[in-house]
Amino acid sequence: MQGRDPASPQRDPAAVQAEIEQVQQRLAASIDALADRANPKNAARRGLDRGASGRWPLGRGGARAAGRRPGAPRQQPTGPAR
């Protein structure tokens, strides 16, 4: 961290405090937005919204609902036949 230049004018303590509070508010808003984005329920909702809007060619579900990546080949069942 750099030291303050002694030749620079003194800053008003109230102005410094106001600036600190503004930065704290911006940081709090950023943290809230990140927490909202990282929330698994919200991420799932965004995924469904994208599918319903047609931005995904498979719509709601499709390959993703089947546990596959879109475009991945279907796997044949394995194990003993019944």
Check whether 66 has a pLDDT greater than 50: yes
- 42 band by pLDDT with thresholds 50, 70 and 90: confident
pLDDT value at residue 40: 87
pLDDT value at residue 8: 76
pLDDT value at residue 7: 72
pLDDT value at residue 76: 63
1-38 pLDDT tens trace: 456 677 778 889 999 999 999 999 999 999 999 999 88
CA distance 38 to 35: 5
